[in-house]
A and B are shown apart, each in its own frame.
Chain A
Amino acid sequence: MIPEFGHFALILALCLSVLLCTVPLWGAWRGNATAMALAPNLAIGILVFSAISFACLTWAFLQDDFSVQVVANNSNSLLPWYYKFSAVWGNHEGSLLLWILILALWTCAVAVFSPQLPLLMLSRVLAVMGFVGVGFMAFSLFTSNPFARLLPGTPMDGQDLNPLLQDFGLIIHPPLLYMGYVGFSVAFAFAIAALLGGRLDAAWARWSRPWTNVAWAFLTLGIMLGSWWAYYELGWGGWWFWDPVENASFMPWLAGTALIHSLAATEKRGLFKSWTVLLAIFAFSLSLLGTFLVRSGVLTSVHAFATDPARGLFILVFLGIVVGGSLILYALRAPAVSSRVGFAWLSRETLLLVNNVVFLVATLTVLFGTLFPLLMDALGQGKYSVGPPYFNAVFVPLMALLMPFMGIGPVSRWKQDSASRWRAELLVPAIATVVCALTLPLLHDGDYNLWVALAILLAGWVVFGMLRDLANRVRNASSLGTGLRRLALSYWGMFVAHIGFAVTVIGVVVTSQFNIEHDLKMSPGASDTIAGYEFRFLDVRGVQGPNYVADEARFIVYRDGREVVRLAPQKRRYLASGDVMTEAAIDDGFFRDLFVAMGEPVGTDGAWAIRLHYKPFVRWMWGGSVLMALGGFMTVADKRYRRQRSVARDTLRQGEVRGAQA
């Protein structure tokens, strides 16, 4: 009964979404305030019914209701309750319902937290989001109903969740990723609403900026978690594979990064308006494209959902309507004349433009590489696969090109700046950077590594440039403390995010260059030394988990004769599916990770194929990403946006009073 209830709630949510994307738009067109004012209420209603629907599916999972098909296929009575919970979105149907719930959350958040928006704008924004909701709810109900029953013929027990997904990282990775993906629909909705209204101005950019920053920050966290999960769960110590599914989440991130910078120029200077709108459409289109690629089966991937061409066709048609429609609107309504606001070549505007060009080119090269196998196949040119060599060859130089400009960015001025001022400002940072780049790689014993030196040069330039700017800003304050406190949160957001980017770059380059990996056959009692760490293999014993049995190897790691850590990697066999999984054991540290994974047993004397890794600075990569996300969240807490809200509340109240008088 409960699943039918959830099904019904989803149908109601669809009905409300249909109302949301029609009635307020009609109201906006006819100037009917009552119809427009319906939009926020509908948004709340959609959230309520989506949440009920989601709760019903969750209940079915937690209660082991194997008469529901997705539960039978993706859960098992032995599964611990938290994995039963995350199994809700560990499959195509359930993850789509999560997507719908998150879209409803964002829609409702826009409705609730935007009292400063004129009703006309708000109703249009919500209507656009309602339309996106209609698409996804219809997709869910017509092609991938999560509440479909297996009656009669209910299995005794479920087929279990894919063991790869039985992991803490996978509990939170999809929700965060979807928060990011779907969050770009807000920026998209604002762009479409602005095009509909024919008003692209600084106010529009100011409204959509905080939403875009939050969405971007969530997406950053989501991608970071995905990479972290791949690192410790897939068992071969890699953290980024340029797999189509990874690229599907990375492309909206790249476009979103361009968007948040372009929005800054639009808000502060009224520049690049058409461009910013296009980027907003682009970022969300890539989110939709990602959905299409992951769920349609047009590309092969190591971790795609069960795919089905019928679903692919549905998303493609929806993609065509949303993206095609918005691009037609863009072509007809975007201001064709370049804005009259000018800027000199040496100015912050130019640097932001460089950012935009680099990130756009990066997005397009990743898009091209991802779709290349499909393009060649469609043209009858045969089968290709595009791997890391291509992506690294184009992506790494692009980021290296970006960073010199990124260092200048914060100290630069809007409108017009001068090379001599840049020289004066950045001379000290430049010297400090060069000194760091020359000396820091020496700390690593072994050869002087040029790539690492280059990474330190670029990252140091960004960091010292940022610090220089900070010093300038606090120079006139009475004390350092008051100076730092006086800085706006939006500034701190940028500061933290840019430092985070530099940290990530250091992490990526150092771990790629200094990573040591030994694949060897080890018998109990044997030991192997990498980077000064001696891994001693004690023994293998059988252990029993809640829904698996495992061989667990015990290792003790020594350094200079002293015990550092005990590691216990496992080779698990899950009972329900029979799947065998490698569970790596990792000792994480600020400067290095030690990683042990078990391969297959070799021979009959108890020897195993063992993989040992020494991964320096690998945490920096994820730590930097967390900083980037943190920066994104900080900008939103800025007073500027809060002030808007309180002002708006006052005007709203006045409006009410006036309404009452009339």
Chain B
Amino acid sequence: MAPRLKLFLPLILFLVLAAFLFRGLSLDPMAMPSALIDQPLPDFQLTALADDRPLSRADVIGEPALFNVWATWCISCRVEHPYLQQLADSGVPIYGINYKDEDTAARRWLRDLGDPYRANIVDREGTLGVDLGVYGAPETYLVDADGVIRYRHVGVIDERVWRDTLEPLWREVLALETTP
């Protein structure tokens, strides 16, 4: 290689890198593809947090709902908690999956911070989490009336996430239900 051409090498490497960075701008690092999209919610035999009553898949499906994976050890869950309450107050059914947590701590949390959940599935060992492919808390699944997972959101749900991604899907799922 001519000596002068060699000096262009850093430039070329940089251009390749810049192309990747440009591509990166339009990708969402938080978006997690789930193998379970358009698959039925996995079956489970667990208990309810409130009263230790057995709880299974059949008990929680039948109408469109959000399934929110949370835990008391998860700081971000605390951040999204007030917004979940707001959603629940506006009529969106939310089921909690209390993931790898202590029951007493979880109950205390709901007592202190408010309880936006229809019911909480106690997933102490994280078995349901494994079936769902939970990546970390918080995570939220949109499940339709037939118990099919329509969408998965990794991370905190806030006003923006709800407005931009979840709400349109939610309306779609509701519309499907009313016009069979």
- Residues of chain A touching chain B, judged by Cβ–Cβ distance below 8 Å, are 274, 278, 281-282, 285, 292, 296-300, 309, 312-313, 316, 319-320, 323-324, 327-328, 330-332, 334, 336-337, 371, 373-375, 377-378, 382-383, 578-580, 599-604
Measured CB to CB, the nearest residue on chain B to A313 is B25
Determine whether B30 belongs to the interface, using a CB cutoff of 8 Å to chain A: yes
Determine whether B23 belongs to the interface, using a CB cutoff of 8 Å to chain A: yes
Measured CB to CB, the nearest residue on chain A to B31 is A383
Interchain Cβ contacts under 8 Å between A and B, 9 examples: A298-B21, A319-B18, A324-B14, A328-B11, A330-B10, A331-B7, A331-B11, A378-B23, A383-B33
Residues of A within 8 A of B25 (CB): 296, 298, 309, 312-313, 316
Contact check: which of B24, B30, B72 meets A378 at CB < 8 Å? B24
Residues of B within 8 A of A292 (CB): 21
Complex Cα gap A324–B12 (Å) = 9
Contact check: which of B8, B11, B18, B78 meets A579 at CB < 8 Å? B78
User: Is the pair A336, B27 in contact by a Cβ cutoff of 8 Å?
Assistant: no
Against A, the Cβ 8 Å flags (1 = close, 0 = not) of B22-36 are: 111111011011000
CB A179 to nearest CB in B, in angstroms, measures: 26
Measured CB to CB, the nearest residue on chain B to A323 is B14
Determine whether B104 belongs to the interface, using a CB cutoff of 8 Å to chain A: yes
User: Is the pair B79, A298 in contact by a Cβ cutoff of 8 Å?
Assistant: no
User: Is the pair B29, A331 in contact by a Cβ cutoff of 8 Å?
Assistant: no
Known: A298-B27, A331-B8. A579 touches B79 (CB 8 A): yes
Measured CB to CB, the nearest residue on chain B to A604 is B104
User: Is the pair B18, A320 in contact by a Cβ cutoff of 8 Å?
Assistant: yes
Complex Cα gap A353–B144 (Å) = 63
Measured CB to CB, the nearest residue on chain B to A312 is B25
Contact check: which of A327, A337, A579 meets B10 at CB < 8 Å? A327
Complex Cα gap A324–B18 (Å) = 9
Measured CB to CB, the nearest residue on chain A to B23 is A378
Measured CB to CB, the nearest residue on chain A to B24 is A298
CB A607 to nearest CB in B, in angstroms, measures: 10
Most buried by A among B10, B26, B75: B10
Complex Cα gap A371–B21 (Å) = 9
Residues of B within 8 A of A298 (CB): 21, 24-25, 27, 29
Residues of A within 8 A of B93 (CB): none
Complex Cα gap A323–B16 (Å) = 13
Determine whether B50 belongs to the interface, using a CB cutoff of 8 Å to chain A: no
Q: In which size bucket is the chain B interface?
A: 20 to 34
Residues of A within 8 A of B53 (CB): none
Complex Cα gap A319–B14 (Å) = 10
Complex Cα gap A337–B33 (Å) = 52
Determine whether B162 belongs to the interface, using a CB cutoff of 8 Å to chain A: no
User: Is the pair B30, A300 in contact by a Cβ cutoff of 8 Å?
Assistant: yes
Residues of A within 8 A of B33 (CB): 382-383
Complex Cα gap A604–B23 (Å) = 52
Determine whether B161 belongs to the interface, using a CB cutoff of 8 Å to chain A: no
Complex Cα gap A256–B14 (Å) = 18
Most buried by B among A323, A600, A603: A600
Measured CB to CB, the nearest residue on chain A to B27 is A377
Complex Cα gap A602–B109 (Å) = 12
Complex Cα gap A309–B24 (Å) = 10
Complex Cα gap A39–B82 (Å) = 54
Residues of A within 8 A of B176 (CB): none
Q: A378-B20, A599-B73 are in contact. List 6 more A-B contacts (CB 8 A).
A: A330-B10, A331-B4, A332-B7, A337-B3, A377-B29, A378-B24
Residues of B within 8 A of A316 (CB): 18, 21-22, 25
Complex Cα gap A274–B26 (Å) = 36
Complex Cα gap A316–B25 (Å) = 9
In the complex, which residues 66-125 of chain B have their Cβ closer than 8 Å to any Cβ of chain A?
A: 72-73, 75, 78-79, 82, 102, 104-105, 108
User: Is the pair B20, A375 in contact by a Cβ cutoff of 8 Å?
Assistant: yes
CB A527 to nearest CB in B, in angstroms, measures: 23
| Total A-B residue contacts, Cβ distance less than 8 Å | 92
Known: A316-B21, A324-B15. A374 touches B104 (CB 8 A): no
Complex Cα gap A59–B57 (Å) = 57
Residues of A within 8 A of B24 (CB): 296, 298-299, 374, 377-378
Please list the 3 inter-chain residue pairs (A to B) with the smallest Cβ-Cβ separation, ordered nearest first: A298-B24, A336-B3, A327-B11
Residues of B within 8 A of A580 (CB): 75, 78
User: Is the pair B27, A600 in contact by a Cβ cutoff of 8 Å?
Assistant: no
Measured CB to CB, the nearest residue on chain A to B33 is A383
Complex Cα gap A275–B123 (Å) = 58
Residues of A within 8 A of B30 (CB): 300
CB B56 to nearest CB in A, in angstroms, measures: 28
Complex Cα gap A454–B175 (Å) = 67
User: Is the pair A374, B29 in contact by a Cβ cutoff of 8 Å?
Assistant: yes
Complex Cα gap A319–B18 (Å) = 9
Residues of B within 8 A of A604 (CB): 104
Contact check: which of B4, B6, B14, B73 meets A600 at CB < 8 Å? B73
Residues of B within 8 A of A374 (CB): 20-21, 24, 27, 29
Measured CB to CB, the nearest residue on chain A to B15 is A324
Complex Cα gap A383–B7 (Å) = 35
Complex Cα gap A316–B15 (Å) = 11
User: Is the pair A330, B7 in contact by a Cβ cutoff of 8 Å?
Assistant: yes
In the complex, which residues 34-79 of chain B have their Cβ closer than 8 Å to any Cβ of chain A?
A: 72-73, 75, 78-79
Contact check: which of B8, B17, B32, B82 meets A383 at CB < 8 Å? B32
User: Is the pair B26, A334 in contact by a Cβ cutoff of 8 Å?
Assistant: no
Complex Cα gap A86–B1 (Å) = 53
CB A387 to nearest CB in B, in angstroms, measures: 13
Residues of A within 8 A of B6 (CB): 336
Complex Cα gap A580–B15 (Å) = 44
CB B108 to nearest CB in A, in angstroms, measures: 7
Residues of B within 8 A of A603 (CB): 104
User: Is the pair B26, A297 in contact by a Cβ cutoff of 8 Å?
Assistant: no
User: Is the pair A373, B20 in contact by a Cβ cutoff of 8 Å?
Assistant: no
Residues of A within 8 A of B18 (CB): 316, 319-320, 323-324
User: Is the pair B29, A299 in contact by a Cβ cutoff of 8 Å?
Assistant: yes
User: Is the pair A336, B14 in contact by a Cβ cutoff of 8 Å?
Assistant: no
Residues of A within 8 A of B73 (CB): 599-600
Contact check: which of B7, B32, B108 meets A334 at CB < 8 Å? B7
Residues of A within 8 A of B8 (CB): 331
